[in-house]
Chain A
Amino acid sequence: MSEFDQSKIRNFCIVAHIDHGKSTLADRMIETTGVLTSREMQNQVLDNMEIERERGITIKSQAVRMVYKAKDGEEYVFNMIDTPGHVDFGYEVSRSLAACDGAILVVDATQGVEAQTLANVYLALDHDLDVFPVINKIDLPSARPDEVKEEIEDVIGIEAHDAPLVSAKMGTGIEDVLESVVHKIPAPKGDPAAPLQALIFDSVYDSYRGVIVFVRVREGVLKKGMTAKCMASGASWEVVEVGYFGPGQFIPCDELSAGTVGYFTASIKNIQDARVGDTVTDAENPCAEALPGYKKVMPMVYCGLYPADTARYPELRDALEKLQLNDASLFYEPETSQALGFGFRAGFLGLLHLEVIQERLEREYNLDLVSTAPGVVYKVHKTDGTVFDLTNPSNLPDPSEIEYMEEPIVNGEIMVTTDYVGSIMQLCQERRGRYISTEYIEATRAVLKYELPLNEIIYDFFDALKSRSRGYASFDYEIKGYEQSELVKLDILINREQVDALSFIVHKDGAYERGRKMCEKLKGEIPRHLFEIPIQAAVGGKIIARETVKAMRKDVLAKCYGGDISRKRKLLEKQKEGKKKMRQIGSVEIPQQAFLSVLKLDEGN
């Protein structure tokens, strides 16, 4: 294809609250620009991972190039960069935004401005992007576009009176959006003659070509055959291929010059060498300085992952290795549990990231997993003056060696209709939240600001929030930092043996309640044995709760169904099969379900 001059390029992204229709709008734009025929369109072209499509969220950012013939008769190249829609991937969002010059803000005509809308818009403005709003879902009977426009102007403070009115679902108003991109989003700047300076905003691993690095070229030209160097990692390679993004495919070209968005491959084996946020330059003619904003993202949430069938440990290792090729933020290291055998301690950006990885392991690699309760990273200050990051509760030193501990705190913003302010405040209180402020953005809606310990929101905070607000509350948070806290390790003893996989760190005030619930839940999960089994919760060797699984007195099928023996056999086989799936702790057999169910303590309580 012919080269375009910079003034005909538009690099932009779409930001929205979850479910406001970002992906559908992107699909329609791709369809309308005619790059794809309708038949080729699978719904939501951009979300190309199976789980993403099912959950309707975008996990990894993606990009696509479109050619649009505008009403002024000129052809424009649009590079649309899709950003992940979840707070877990905040850093990836920020790098995607850094690759753009403008942003389309999609707001649902029925829902109006939501917590993530605000957070995403502010993030876009922070990156100096020009933002214009689009009102989506105007086909719905409850749409109130005029009110929503007003809300955007009042709450966010950006011009909205001429915002395109769109129904991405029905395909109406798409032309308006495309025209607005031409007129409202600035063309990129940058000198093609300057030394190469390109921002990595994403990367994927391909088993034939190695890592495919997604870049926005700021200055200079990236071309085949040159030696590219990553400034933060220091790694360099000879560029094998450069190209741009067709919908769902890579289209090679000769070079990418300043202002464009595209990809390159260079037989890069390790995704860690070309991390998101790093700056790519010409090894022989490097630019003066790296682009700002690079940081290595650290996992925030950890859990133990074990194969349900201990013999499948090597398969789990291989699967994690493969997933890591594509996901530089996934961390794992081998660990051993007395209860669960050989497995891994894995670190994730957040709970969604954790769930996505678990699902991919189970679905794409067909592994049955037992995972331990997710925990955050605690800082343990020891009496000898050293500090270390605690990711596995089992590694907590003896209390006498601990000076104090710190836990991560987040700044949380909850947007909620005024009816539910009371119940949401109560929830935050229960979760050890520290109240900061309430801001009314209109008569019926408020933004509650709280500081919350991360370990209080990683379990089921979202669920609780939704259920206590009948689905009306939206939530967003960012990590604030670490604070000293009175934390203890809660241990579970089954038949007087401590089960390492069930230990976790909890605030001292919540220990009793949590321990009691754990024991209650485990009592229901552990089948009766020939002997009585005490289940105890302990903090620092002191028992704080106890339940007992009574000895089995009866396990008999009184009637034997005449000659229908196969039925009896099935029953016995089921019983035997059940036993196979148990984990042996001392003389007690514990079903795997027990390890999973204690993760969901608060549901239904």
Chain B
Amino acid sequence: MTKVAREVDDLRARLEQYVGKPMGPPSLAPDPVNVPMIRHWVAALDDRNPVYLDEAIAATSRFGGIVAPPAMLQTWGMPSPTIQGIAERGGSPVEIRSDNPISALDAAGFVGTLATNSEIEFVRYLRPGDHLHLSSEVESISTRKTTALGQGYFVTWVTTYRTAAGELVGRQLFRILKFDPSTIDLARLKAAR
């Protein structure tokens, strides 16, 4: 085995320890589901679905009352950002970095990030007052791939959303490509575009 191939195997072997483990510590959404944030979202996306804000229509719908836009699921769990220094942290909204495959790949030079897949499942719609607990687990890490963006690894994790009472309300699978920008194949990238 060549030295390079062995190094590849070493990195992939180190990454294997993260599979099935948490992406980071469990967290509690900064705020319970609430109407002011729903109103902000509805205005930003100009979404006229009345069950999000119109109490009278929502009450007579199958939902029986106001519900949050389902696609806001991820929004409720977004951490409150520390704005100072956010660009220097590469855009990370929080200062604490977990030991996870992303930080490990960053440290190994695979600093590029490209999101490739998002799969959200809604077990039930959320109502004002629901306070979400989040936990996330690394589902899989690919072998090293050669892509239009150079060498990289696909990292997949699943975030699970539960209420304070432990009721499962939603899940989101996320897959990103962590790539080494110094290995980008410009000819191939151009051909792909």
Q: Do A and B bind each other?
A: no
Q: Which residues of A contact B (CB under 8 A)?
A: none
Q: Which residues of B contact A (CB under 8 A)?
A: none
